[in-house]
Amino acid sequence: MSQTKRFLAVTVAAVTALGMVGACSKNTEGTKPAADGKITLVVDTFGDFGYKALAAQYEQAHPDVKVELRNVQKLDDYKPKLVQYLAAGSGAGDVVALEEGVLNEFKTQPQNFVNLLDQGAAELQPNFLPWKWDLGRVGSDGPLIGLGTDVGGLAACYRKDLFAKAKLPTDRDAVSKLWPDWNSFIATGKKFGAANTGAKGFVDSVTTSFSAMLSQAGDTNFYDRDNKLIADSNPVVRQAWDTSMTMVSEGVSAKIPTWSKDWEAGFKNGSFAVTMCPSWMLGIIKGNSGEANAGKWDVAAVPGGGGNWGGSWLAVPTQSKHPKEAYELAKFLTSPDSQVAAFKEAGPLPTAPKALDDPAFLALTNDYFSDAPVGKIFGAGAKTLKPLVLGPKHQAVKERAFEPALQAVEQGKLTPDKAWQQALSSAVKEAK
């Protein structure tokens, strides 16, 4: 309802337009050298890529370049914005981040991005895990549209204070031993639920566990290798679904939808004791829990073994006025040293083998998470991660078909069978 707003907008537009009829000039911000001869390179990211210090460092080394970082909190808001810029032919950053769940969608329209091989990117190949490099390419011999920034190694973050209340071990190695697989995780959750801790549930929501289980599949999820939707027949999907359903029926879940107000507050209030955390999630947990809860969280192994959840690439849109300079910046931001620096700042796990072996990286600890040796925990599995075949609409199928269906079961609105049918029919619609 915005009647006055629209009215005001029209009036203001009319008045300004009248006043500026003569003075109207095209907005060329960022597309031509500023008065001091500097060019501005805009970097579009979502969440937190940890580029603040790196941008300053780059500006110092390149006095003729100004780096402007633009960040959108949620990937869900970031993607439509980027698409609108691409459709309009202007407005996108010179360097843009593409997440793995949406990368394939953009790869179907590669004309929107600069082929980085033309800029000499071939020499960078040894910098990246082989599968990460390959995923940045369209097909096996097509153009390269993205340079890998990070991978999403998995772990489980847990609240030590709540574990202590439930008489569970609090030491991270002992906690990891509690749940070698998902069944033992559910058993631990039931034990936790029996003790009166004041928490609403053991784990925040089954959707985070569902994502973790899918990422452990190590092969295909919703799509097969020919980009055909196989959500209904892939046993991996069905098994992750069934385990999630057991978690709901055994009362292990706090049934708090991720990214909701209750979820954000739940970190502060101790509404749940565990959440699955890919390394990029650490910053989000810290932000939601606040300084008052520093030292209460710790990081243990994820139930069911390692997997990759998330991770991104940097691409240069064809509409950029400075593709060459933009490529140089992307090259710098994805270099092994920069990856370690970004990890230190915000937690995205390096994808460069050299960075993963870097003693400086392996020695990193996170003081907010009880000094957990995050470099070692996340780095250990990263090199053996098995890449997933994601298909063009992976993120849409997961977040707009399966997660709402899982949440509907948690809300008690659908039976597991009905929800499964609902998820499948929505998946078909999203994949269209």
Partner 1 sequence: MTSSSVVRPSAAATAADGRVPWRSRLTRADVRFAPYFFIAPFFVLFAVFGAFPLIYTGWVSLHDWHLIGEHTFVGFGNYTALFADPDFWNALKNTVGIFVLATVPQLLMALAMANLLNRKIRGRTFFRMGVLIPNVTSVAAVGIVFGQLFARDVGLVNFLITWLGLDAVDWQANTWSSWIAIAVMVDWRWTGYNTLILLGAMQAIPKDLFESASLDGAKPWQQFWRITVPLLRPTLLFTVVISTIGGLQLFTEPVIFGNGRMLGGTLGQFQTVTMYMYETAFQRFQYGYGAAIAWALFGLIVIFSLINLLLVRRAAR
From 69, 100, 55, select the one nearest 280 (Cα to Cα): 100
408 touches partner 1 (CB under 8 A)? yes
Residue labelled with tokens 């092969």: 219
37 touches partner 1 (CB under 8 A)? no
Which of 108, 125, 249, 415 forms a contact with partner 1 (CB under 8 A)? Answer: 108
User: How far apart (Å, rounded) are the C-alpha atoms in residues 418 and 389?
Assistant: 27
Residues paired with 223 in a beta bridge: 229
Which of 14, 53, 194, 195 forms a contact with partner 1 (CB under 8 A)? Answer: 14
400 touches partner 1 (CB under 8 A)? yes
Residues 267-296 that bind partner 1 (CB under 8 A): 269, 271
Residues 191-210 that bind partner 1 (CB under 8 A): 200
Pick the piece of the chain touching partner 1 (CB under 8 A) from 45-53, 60-68, 103-111, 136-144. Answer: 103-111
> Tokens standing for 414?
């659908």
Bridge pairing between strands 201-203 and 297-300: unpaired
Q: CA 407 → CA 30, 208, 242, 401, 425, distances in Å? A: 43, 11, 14, 11, 16
> Tokens standing for 144?
């390269």
Which of 26, 36, 61, 261 forms a contact with partner 1 (CB under 8 A)? Answer: 261
384 touches partner 1 (CB under 8 A)? no
Q: CA 256 → CA 71, 248, 262, 266, distances in Å? A: 26, 12, 6, 8
Query: What amino acid is encoded at 279 in this protein?
Result: S
Q: Is the dihedral of CA 145, 150, 156, 158 positive or negative?
A: negative
Residues 47-76 that bind partner 1 (CB under 8 A): 74, 76
| Distance in Å, CB of 432 to partner 1, minimum | 8
Q: Is the dihedral of CA 242, 248, 253, 257 positive or negative?
A: positive
| Distance in Å, CB of 259 to partner 1, minimum | 5
Which of 109, 125, 183, 249 forms a contact with partner 1 (CB under 8 A)? Answer: 109
Which of 65, 154, 168, 256 forms a contact with partner 1 (CB under 8 A)? Answer: 256
From 425, 370, 371, 381, select the one nearest 402 (Cα to Cα): 425
* Number of chain residues interacting with partner 1 (CB under 8 A): 48
422 touches partner 1 (CB under 8 A)? yes
Residue labelled with tokens 């949620």: 74
353 touches partner 1 (CB under 8 A)? no
User: With 0-12 CB in 10 A as exposed, 13-18 as middle and 19+ as buried, what is 298?
Assistant: buried
| Angle between the N-to-C axes of helices 403-410 and 206-215, in degrees from 0 to 180, rounded to the nearest 10 | 140
Which of 153, 266, 270, 304 forms a contact with partner 1 (CB under 8 A)? Answer: 266
Instruction: Return the SS3 of 187.
Output: helix
Which of 373, 387, 404, 416 forms a contact with partner 1 (CB under 8 A)? Answer: 404
| Distance in Å, CB of 224 to partner 1, minimum | 21
Nearer to partner 1, 63 or 89 (CB): 89
Kindly provide the b/e burial profile for residues 92-122, where b requires at least 16 CB atoms within 10 angstroms of the residue's own CB. Answer: bbbbbbbbbbbbbbbbeebebbbbbeebebe
265 touches partner 1 (CB under 8 A)? yes
Nearer to partner 1, 277 or 396 (CB): 396
Which of 161, 224, 250, 262 forms a contact with partner 1 (CB under 8 A)? Answer: 262
| Distance in Å, CB of 373 to partner 1, minimum | 33
416 touches partner 1 (CB under 8 A)? no
Q: Provide the 8-state DSSP code for 153.
A: B
177 touches partner 1 (CB under 8 A)? no
Residues that bind partner 1 (CB under 8 A): 1-5, 10, 13-14, 17-18, 74, 76-77, 79-80, 83-84, 86-87, 105, 108-109, 112, 200, 256-257, 259-262, 265-266, 269, 271, 396, 400, 404-405, 407-408, 411-414, 422, 429-430, 432
